[in-house]
Amino acid sequence: MNPAQKIVINIDEQFPQLSQAPVIEAVMDIRALARQPFEEETVRQALEPRLTGFRFLDSHREFQHEVRIAAGSNPEQCVRDLGWKGLRFQSEDQKKIVQFNRDGFVASRLEPYPDWTTFAEEGFDLWEIFCDIARPVEINRLGLRYINRIELPLDDPKLSDYVKHPPQPPKGLNLPYMGFMHHETFAVPGHAYAINFIRTIQPAGPDTGRGPGLILDIDVFTTMGVAWPTDDLARCFAEMRWLKNKIFFGTITEKTLENLR
């Protein structure tokens, strides 16, 4: 088998501007183990004065749930408390959530999504606060995830109107779809990135007043650690954003694009 041709990433490529961006959540994930003492009370005291516009949301612990099955005996369940993991804070408008964990940092933005520049700058500012407190010495993983929701009509939507190469029913059976889920994982030849891409249908929500939605969940992540100290963080996220955009715009149809402009 011939090796795949290296993908040329062009972070300067311009993509269509969407006035109705379908992003329901954007996530910046940086896995980096804290090297400074990271205890709940002291971390919270250090964070709260610096998180202008945010309020404390919750403190969370990690648990490991195991089920042990042996021949001739009933299953045994074992739950292990792995200890305190970190803190979450939420913006006053409830549109942004940031996690400061022992093993890294996560910044989430809910709809309405502003734009890449705003989202990235806010994330990097919060990441600097994490670095000041946790003093990590290496980055184990970077991730950029966008969950998009495209509204569908209630009456048997024709998926080919919305996405290229939609799923097809078995040959000879023209069956309407009640739902589907496609999960694909892509390598990125020549780069230490990979992509998880999920396409599925979200049923109509009777309590939300929304119809069914086409979910395009794109998660781009690194496949190896990032050297520290690093000046490449912004470049890495710009490259992952380019990959995310190529997946998104390469999946939707022209009709969908025009509806989102």
Report the sign of the C-alpha dihedral through residues 95, 194, 31, 232, in that order. negative
Q: Per-residue pLDDT tens for 86-145? A: 999 999 999 999 999 999 999 999 999 999 999 999 999 999 999 999 999 899 999 999
220 class by beta-carbon count within 10 Å (0-12 exposed, 13-18 middle, 19+ buried): buried
Tell me what pLDDT residue 54 has.
Answer: 97
Q: Per-residue pLDDT tens for 46-94? A: 999 999 999 999 998 776 767 667 666 677 777 776 678 999 999 999 9
Q: In what order do the strands lie in the sheet with 213-222?
A: 54-68, 76-91, 96-101, 104-110, 23-31, 141-151, 213-222, 193-202, 181-187
**The pLDDT of residue 1 is above 50:** no
233 class by beta-carbon count within 10 Å (0-12 exposed, 13-18 middle, 19+ buried): middle
**The pLDDT of residue 162 is above 80:** yes
How far apart CA 234 and CA 25 sit, in angstroms, is 20
pTM of the entire predicted model: 0.88
How far apart CA 216 and CA 200 sit, in angstroms, is 7
**The pLDDT of residue 198 is above 90:** yes
How far apart CA 212 and CA 215 sit, in angstroms, is 10
- Two structure tokens written together for 26: 């954007």
Size of the chain, expressed as the number of residues it contains: 261
pLDDT confidence tier of residue 225, bands split at 50, 70 and 90: confident
